[in-house]
Structure 1
């Protein structure tokens, strides 16, 4: 089953003294590009998080965010009272002012507030890791839902291409008859006597150059192969992209060989459908 590279997943954890929100957003990209944002105290776990994300999401531009909101008395920052009092004392020697105003100034000065860097509590991190798994599960589910929509679009467009190919196959005999008629008329307009056998040989050679039998067969095979890949268990947007390139090659060859306006109109429609498929394939994992 194909997956989209566009997705969103979120998990919210309520711990005794803090609320933790984990978010994952992804967009299409040729490879995996993970941008991680988290408080500095959790940076030691970043490599593990990246591996965890890469294992499950594989491709896409992924934004990982971990937000912490303190809801209890637990805090890693504290006021350095000795330093603040010394700042206030020095400020009083410089300016006359209310103690509250001086405190506002002192608290902004260097080393007035100290931040303790606590070690990560492994029990707490175990809960957070489960939250990351939950967010990943949600973004994968989102990608699968988007993939189902993309798949239906591909099915419809491949069906349209098959219908247009059938029209090309039906039209082909008339095209050959038209080419033959134009050549006969051209020779007749010359009002010159020609060797009928030689003319017939040249006619056969000329018509063979415009034969599209192989292209029709290959195009039909490529369309069937695309459908098979679409229904496979894994999601491989790159493989589908390669098949679409082969489909385009056969359509272009048919167009260049057709030499027949009604058939060229069908080829233009086929190219339009294929271009829409290629645009959507950029979003497939």
Structure 2
């Protein structure tokens, strides 16, 4: 299946006295690039969330936003983490020994310090389980979104491939006649210009030139590359980088076809091929 690197997912997960809110956004990128916007109470879970994302996605710039929103007030008085406050006091004492003119921590500073105010209703052990479950569901929704977008990209690419095959099928049967016609024109011009030259030598040069302008090999490689693109689109492995390489190869063959062209028809076909290849290349930049 072909996956796009663009997608979006948004989910909520209710807790006893709060709600977890998740947003996942994905855009195209050469590598997997994950950025987090986490609630202060959830920052410790970043490594676990990153591991989940890396296990499910291989490319793309991912923005993961997780918020913890309190839904109602609890009747229990807030608790303070006394060991953490002791550590803060010890650190402040050491710091003031080096910087005696510095301002001491206020009560407001201490209460705002992450982890100082405890919430008995939200156990860290159960919270990480809920967060991981929510992220996993969000990744499933994101993958479904990327799959839908990927199918649209696949359909567009297959349409361009069909047009390329039509162009190749149109020009390939005409090549022998076109080359023969051009060879006859060239022979006439040479005979008019070089009437004293050996006719056998002219015939040999014409055969060599005909070989240089023969594009049958380029058309065969174009057909082979088209078949390989179709095979990759139907595989389950990430396809973006391989498809990008094949677009370069297709463009190379189209350029060679244009440089060897001896007729207006093959020149037009070369230009149309390059337009179609460029359209595919632009879309493939968004394929995972």
If the length of structure 2 is used for normalisation, what is the TM-score?
A: 0.83
Question: Equivalent of 1:246, from 246, 249, 267?
Answer: 249
RMSD of aligned residue pairs (Cα, Å): 2.1
Matches within 5 A, 1:263-282: 263-282=266-285
Structure 1 pair 53/275, CA: closer, same or farther in 2 (3 Å)? Answer: same
Relative to structure 1, is the Cα distance of residues 227 and 165 closer, same or farther in structure 2, using a 3 angstrom cutoff? same
Q: 2:117, 2:138 → 1: CA distance?
A: 27
Aligned to 1:58: 58
CA contact (8 A) 1:5 1:284 kept: yes
How far apart are 1:128 and its partner, in Å? 2.1
Question: Unaligned 5+ residue runs, structure 2?
Answer: 81-104
1:124 paired residue among 106, 123, 127: 127
Q: Is the 8 A contact 1:215 1:254 kept in 2?
A: yes
> 2:232 aligns to what?
229
Once the two structures are superposed, residues 173-200 of structure 1 have per-residue CA deviations (whole angstroms, 9 ceiling, x without a partner) of 2320232122123124327243222211
* 1:283 counterpart SS class: coil
Q: Residues 45 and 128 of structure 2 are in contact (CA less than 8 Å); yes or no, is this contact kept in structure 1?
A: no
Partner of 2:26: 26
- Equivalent residue runs for 1:96-115 within 5 Å: 111-112=107-108, 114-115=111-112
Greater CA drift, 226-235 or 31-40: 226-235
The secondary structure found in structure 2 opposite 1:234 is: coil
SS in 2 for 1:258: coil
Larger radius of gyration: 1
Q: 1:181 to 1:144 in 2, by over 3 A?
A: same
- Conserved? CA contact 1:171–1:263, under 8 Å: no
How far is the alpha carbon of 1:232 from its aligned partner?
1.0
Q: Which runs of 4+ in 1 moved over 3 A?
A: 74-78, 109-113, 117-120
Change (3 A) 1:76 1:203: farther
Runs (5+) with no aligned partner, structure 1: 79-108
Aligned counterparts of 2:42 and 2:108: Cα–Cα separation in 1 = 24
TM superposition score normalised by structure 1 = 0.84
Report the number of matched residues.
255
Structure 2 CA distance for partners of 1:18 and 1:264, relative to 1, 3 Å: same
The separation in 2 between residues aligned to 1:168 and 1:76, in whole angstroms, is: 80
> Which stretch has the larger CA shift, 173-182 or 117-126?
117-126
Partner Cα distance (1:259, 1:229) in 2: 34
Question: Is the CA contact 2:187–2:202 (under 8 Å) kept in the aligned structure 1?
Answer: no
Partner of 2:10: 10
Q: In the alignment, what sits opposite 1:177?
A: 180
